[in-house]
Structure 1
């Protein structure tokens, strides 16, 4: 049997070469290798992990230019209900170092003649490189960008160069985006990209229900509520093909937790099915996908799962671990 090599993703301590406030409560960090070496390539929609402590890892979208191989940029909102991540980021200053993993992309930009970008708050970050790529490709595009107040909306100065292709909607001045007007009439050939708070994403998802399949692309910051399994979660057998182990996953434990307890090297971060760090290849078995990353077609293909939240619909699941 031929063993496939395991590809390790990039992980290194990067130096913060710039830390600036891009809007009220939004800190933008520019990161680079201390020796000036090139960083791994990335594409619009990609994010990286910032390792902020022993058990504190958070994901942030890259919002600079993929053409700049020497620097990565992220924008981070300070949230009042922070579990420690945004608070830790906002304490970082230029000259400090931070451990970074990635990049990985679960929000890729698909080629299209037309795009409608809908951003809410800090959800503008993955849109910035997407918009630049759409502009460079000659695609027809427009952005509707909402926020609480004008002062809370980051990167407005950068977006000004695009003129009337960008619509800014500070809520205290203009109210909420009129999604019925934006999405009420399906537009074949137009891809809708959206990122922001859960309420906005749920509303855009509902508004695109009548659009052609594959029109909507979204990225969530928090997990979408999963439908509870009929009859509750059940115990199943887990076979780890590369490790040669057979384990039991009880109803009250995740695949990730069981693997960790058995000493199997698995990497996770959000543990909520939103970051994609623990994505694992399925060898055999039908999966109950509970993540907020894979689209319906990807879940139907049953090729990968997020082991932090997803489970097996049958009695036995075999994974490439």
Structure 2
């Protein structure tokens, strides 16, 4: 997918669940929107200083419109409140995307696990699995049925055998150990939801073959912005060597040095600041790379990644 800068117009809104607002967005000039694949997200600029990423949850084949669904976060940082209260039909917002960090991959069978608003990137994945004609099932947990966006719509489309809804006020928390079960050949697991749920999913899948599990996080790892040891960063573009202190990120240092670099979340969840690693060992703190991708030591996210213990210098392609 090619990432581009866009102006998007809000053409319709509704509330598919309590506390969730869905926006339908079109190109402000009336053209086709960029192609995207299940799992992709778009970055929106929501007023001054608010840049947020939201999963695309519509039909990838429909180039005329995009859809996102946003949960009102009671203790958020302003992005969800802006979407709920600050946007109306015909408003235009700046955007960048589509961006892919959570790709759907064909497999012999699929298990989808959603918690709350984590259902959004999975909606187009379910359609892709259905179109592929392979076995799949979704287990979807939420506080209550009324709070679970798309639950009735998906169950009506695919049936209760494939869309299994688990309201917490009726059943308690998802029994992920039972749901995941033992390793199976050809299984692909996609999970999106709160950090506690994803930690339980990772534990349940610990004995599965590498590459079985793919997760998307809406919240950064706890250590993403934690202090670390000091180190140096060398830039391939001009050979400059910059010092990174214990309380600052590589991104902080690059910006201070006048290096032109795109960034957004500043906590390792969006992927905007991905940078090629030329030399050195990285302590990965992002919420994007798989364990195998981390071991490859060929990219890092300068907003949160640091030099690994014993490595005094990273050489990056900047």
TM bucket, shorter chain:
over 0.9
Partner of 1:181: 178
Which residue, out of 136, 150, 157, partners 1:161?
157
Following superposition, the deviation at residue 131 of structure 1 comes to: 0.3
Partner of 1:65: 59
CA distance in 2: counterparts of 1:16 and 1:131, whole angstroms: 25
Partner of 1:4: none
CA distance in 1: counterparts of 2:170 and 2:42, whole angstroms: 34
CA distance in 2: counterparts of 1:75 and 1:153, whole angstroms: 11
Taking structure 2 as the reference length, what is the TM-score of the superposition? 0.94
Mapping of residues 127-276 of structure 1, within 5 Å: 127-159=122-154, 160-163=156-159, 164-226=161-223, 233-276=228-271
Structure 2, unaligned stretches of length 5 or more?
none
Mapping of residues 21-100 of structure 1, within 5 Å: 21-91=15-85, 92-100=87-95
Kept in 2: contact 1:45–1:130 (CA 8 A): yes
Mapping of residues 291-310 of structure 1, within 5 Å: 291-310=286-305
CA distance in 2: counterparts of 1:271 and 1:281, whole angstroms: 17
Q: Name the Cα RMSD after superposition.
A: 1.8
Per mean C-alpha deviation after superposition, the further-off stretch among 7-16 and 295-304 is 7-16
Following superposition, the deviation at residue 175 of structure 1 comes to: 2.0
Partner of 1:9: 3
CA distance in 1: counterparts of 2:153 and 2:163, whole angstroms: 11
Partner of 1:3: none
Mapping of residues 105-124 of structure 1, within 5 Å: 105-124=100-119
CA distance in 2: counterparts of 1:49 and 1:297, whole angstroms: 26
CA distance in 2: counterparts of 1:225 and 1:153, whole angstroms: 26
CA distance in 2: counterparts of 1:213 and 1:244, whole angstroms: 37
| Number of matched pairs | 313
Following superposition, the deviation at residue 288 of structure 1 comes to: 1.2
Following superposition, the deviation at residue 8 of structure 1 comes to: 8.2
Structure 1, unaligned stretches of length 5 or more?
1-6
Following superposition, the deviation at residue 284 of structure 1 comes to: 1.6
Following superposition, the deviation at residue 174 of structure 1 comes to: 2.2
| Regions of 4+ moved over 4 Å | none
Following superposition, the deviation at residue 239 of structure 1 comes to: 1.6
